[in-house]
């Protein structure tokens, strides 16, 4: 079980629930570039889907749809799945930072802290990003994620799978 409270030193983190949907939608709406590459345009229904959708063979107890809070304001969401695609992997399904907090190193700091904690418990941290989203590709590469050469296709886009490569001791 992931100790999600330990993923950030500077922000409160908690599991997001249905009553947080409007706040998540507001955060999503600050990032139109993301949804240009990863349709559809966000709605309360798509937020609910993000909060509940599970990869194959994963139980709800292994999915963490987390919110990072600066005081009472939701500033980031992290969709984290433990044990996908195998028991030794933590999978980042989504990480999104409110536009107001971007370009200040906050996203990089949040990921550095999260990955440092995740590699203590998992052999691998993996994620996927939309192939046409150059901003995402650059962000994840900067965080130490390297494309595996594997891809996945949806009806709308291609996903590049990437693994975090690095040494456990130099992540902090």
Q: Over the stretch 96-126, which tens digit does the pLDDT of each residue have? A: 999 999 999 999 999 999 999 999 999 999 9
CA dist 113 and 151 (Å) reads 27
pTM: 0.92
**Architecture of the 4-127 domain:** 3-Layer(aba) Sandwich (3.40)
Length of the chain: 172
Q: Over the stretch 14-42, which tens digit does the pLDDT of each residue have? A: 999 999 999 999 999 999 999 999 988 99
Q: Where are the domains of the chain?
A: 4-127
Angle, in degrees to the nearest 10, between helices 106-121 and 134-142: 60
């Amino acid at each position: 079980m992931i100790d999600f409270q330990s993923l950030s030193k500077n922000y409160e983190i908690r599991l997001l629930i249905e009553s947080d949907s409007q706040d998540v939608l507001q955060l999503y709406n600050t990032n139109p570039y993301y949804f240009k590459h990863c349709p559809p345009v966000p709605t309360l229904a798509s937020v609910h889907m993000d909060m509940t959708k599970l990869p194959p063979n994963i139980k709800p107890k292994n999915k963490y749809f987390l919110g990072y809070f600066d005081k009472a304001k939701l500033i980031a969401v992290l969709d984290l799945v433990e044990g996908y695609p195998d028991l030794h992997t933590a999978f980042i399904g989504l990480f999104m930072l409110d536009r107001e907090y971007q370009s200040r190193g906050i996203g990089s700091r949040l990921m550095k802290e999260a990955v440092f904690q995740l590699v203590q418990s998992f052999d691998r941290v993996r994620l996927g990003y939309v192939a046409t989203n150059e901003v995402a590709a650059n962000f994840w590469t900067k965080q130490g994620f390297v494309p595996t050469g594997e891809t996945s296709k949806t009806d709308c886009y291609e996903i590049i799978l990437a693994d975090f490569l690095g040494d456990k001791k130099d992540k902090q």
